[in-house]
C-alpha cells in the first residue's frame, strides 16, 4: 500500500464501542447521512448513496478490514469508477474514556491529485469526522 494522501484525526468524548456503533449505522452520520449498505464483513461490498452538494451519488467499494470497535478499512470508488479509487482506513484508539479516531485516505495506484484536490479531500474528511464526533457524543450523553 502506498503512503496516505491525507490523515486526519479527532478525539470523541465517547468510548470506542459507542463510536463504532455510530460509524456503522445504516444511515451514517459520518458519511453525511448517506445510506450505507454492507454487512461489515471483510470481502463484502459496501455501497454509499445519498446526496452531496445537491447532487445524488452512489459510491462503492469492498470491506478490506473490519475489527469492531478498533479498525475499519474499505476501498472507495466514486460513481461507476473502477479505477482511481482510494482505501479509507479508520482506526479507533481508546484515549482515557474517550476515543481517538484516525482516518487516512490512501490512493490505489500511482495517480496522486494536486495540492488543491488534496486540500479539498482533507476538508471533506475533517467535516465528516466532526459529524461522527457530534453524533457519537450526542448518543453517549443522551
Q: d(Cα 58, Cα 80) in Å, to the nearest integer? A: 8
Residue 119 sits at the vertex; the CA angle it makes with 115 and 121, to the nearest 5 degrees, is 115
Q: How many CB atoms lie within 10 A of CB 3?
A: 9
Phi-psi region of 89 (alpha: psi -120 to 50; beta: other; left: phi over 0): beta
Partners of 60 in the beta sheet? 47, 77
Which H or E element spans position 73? strand 71-76
Please say whether the beta carbons of 47 and 58 come within 8 A.
yes
- pLDDT tens, 18-54? 999 999 999 988 887 899 999 999 999 999 999 877 8
Residue 11: predicted pLDDT: 97
Task: Write down all domains in the chain, each with its CATH number in brackets.
Answer: 6-140 (3.30.530.20)
Q: Which of 137, 16, 123 has its CA nearest to residue 71?
A: 16
> From CA 56, how far away is CA 24, in angstroms rounded?
21
| Three-state secondary-structure class, residue 106 | strand
49-78 pLDDT per residue, tens:
998 778 899 999 999 999 999 999 999 998
* Angle at the Cα of 100 from the Cα atoms of 117 and 139, rounded to 5 degrees: 100
Dump pLDDT digits (tens) for 77-95.
987 777 789 999 999 999 8
Q: What's the confidence (pLDDT) of residue 94?
A: 95
User: pLDDT tens-digit profile of 124-137?
Assistant: 999 999 999 999 99
Amino acid at each position: 500500500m502506498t503512503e496516505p494522501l491525507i490523515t486526519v484525526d479527532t478525539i470523541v468524548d465517547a468510548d470506542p464501542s459507542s463510536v463504532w456503533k455510530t460509524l456503522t449505522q445504516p444511515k451514517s452520520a459520518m458519511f453525511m447521512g448517506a445510506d450505507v449498505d454492507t454487512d461489515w464483513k471483510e470481502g463484502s461490498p459496501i455501497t454509499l448513496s445519498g446526496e452531496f452538494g445537491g447532487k445524488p451519488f452512489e459510491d462503492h467499494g469492498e470491506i478490506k478490514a473490519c475489527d469492531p470497535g478498533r479498525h475499519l478499512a474499505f476501498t472507495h470508488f466514486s460513481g461507476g469508477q473502477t479505477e482511481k479509487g482510494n482505501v479509507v482506513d479508520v482506526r479507533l484508539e481508546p484515549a482515557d474514556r474517550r476515543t481517538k479516531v484516525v482516518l487516512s485516505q490512501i490512493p490505489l495506484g500511482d495517480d496522486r491529485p494536486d495540492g488543491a484536490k488534496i486540500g479539498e479531500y482533507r476538508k471533506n474528511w475533517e467535516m465528516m469526522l466532526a459529524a461522527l464526533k457530534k453524533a457519537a457524543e450526542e448518543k453517549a450523553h443522551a
